[in-house]
Copies of this chain bind each other. A is one copy, B any other.
Amino acid sequence: MAQRGGTATPVTDAERDRQELDATASAGKAPRTDRGRRTLRALLDAAAAEFGEKGFHEGSISGITRRAGVALGSFYTYFDSKDAIFRALVRDMSDQVRDHVAPALRAAPDQIAAERAGLLGFLEFVRGHKEIYRIIDESEFVDPASFRAHYATTAERIEQRLKAAAGRGEIRADVSDVHAWAVMGMNVFLGLRYGVWDEDRTPDAVADTVADMLRTGLAPR
């Protein structure tokens, strides 16, 4: 079966993950050892918990280091400020969502199955990381550039995979950025409703409904 969504190999993915993690640190503060990377990872996870629970303004650096189980000085080894780790966290969550759904996207037999798998994976991720909505949404006010980058990047990725599928004849030839933003918007609000607010429908049921709508809505003409 042809790989979907790019030609990345597992080795390249791991290397990319490492580079992306290193890039979350403030300028000149990238970790140089795997131990440093583990500390950086622990700080980002602690920041997700701290900001997810308290919000940006009430959240604190000492709250983050306490949750991460590291000394206050370790924070400044990797980050310049509370703003800096918040900005890094938005990018990290964006990357985490992408990485969580990527294998299912690649393994799907066709693009509608891929979109179904992507939404399913997203709903499951959100149920396990409900803080992601509060953090991404608060970035609109704390760091508008991060907010914009998160959605622009996500929409761009969806547009690329839809256009690749159109090129293979799997979906309609005229897919554009409008379809990509429509798909992203659906997924974001379905995640809010069936991932964060209430679990009264299973992720599979929600993904089935959307895939069934997209199968005809995006069918080749």
A136 CB, nearest partner CB in chain B, Å: 11
- The A117-131 residues at the B interface (CB cut-off 8 A) are none
Among B134, B197, B209, contact of A140 (Cβ-Cβ < 8 Å): B134
- The A141-177 residues at the B interface (CB cut-off 8 A) are 141, 148, 151, 155, 176-177
User: A2 in the interface, Cβ–Cβ < 8 Å?
Assistant: no
A141-B55, A176-B209, A216-B217 in contact; A186/B182 too (CB < 8 A)? yes
Please, which residues of chain B bring their CB within 8 A of the CB of A151? 189, 192
Q: When chains A and B are docked, how far (Å) is the Cα of A140 from the Cα of B218? A: 33
A138-B141, A217-B213, A217-B217 in contact; A181/B189 too (CB < 8 A)? yes
**CB-based contact B141/A209 at 8 Å:** no
**CB-based contact B181/A190 at 8 Å:** yes
Q: What residue in chain B is nearest A197 (Cβ atoms)?
A: B148
In the complex, per-residue mask of A198-216: 1 if CB is within 8 Å of any chain B CB, else 0: 0001000110011001101
Please, which residues of chain B bring their CB within 8 A of the CB of A201? 178
Q: When chains A and B are docked, how far (Å) is the Cα of A214 from the Cα of B140? A: 30
**How many chain A residues touch the partner (CB < 8 A)?**
37
User: A179 in the interface, Cβ–Cβ < 8 Å?
Assistant: yes
Q: When chains A and B are docked, how far (Å) is the Cα of A192 from the Cα of B178? A: 12
A185-B188, A187-B185, A188-B185 in contact; A178/B206 too (CB < 8 A)? yes
A2 CB, nearest partner CB in chain B, Å: 26
Known: A138-B141, A181-B190, A213-B218. 20 other contacts (CB 8 A): A137-B137, A137-B141, A148-B197, A151-B189, A155-B193, A176-B209, A178-B190, A178-B201, A178-B209, A178-B210, A179-B209, A181-B186, A181-B189, A182-B190, A185-B185, A185-B186, A213-B217, A214-B217, A216-B217, A216-B219
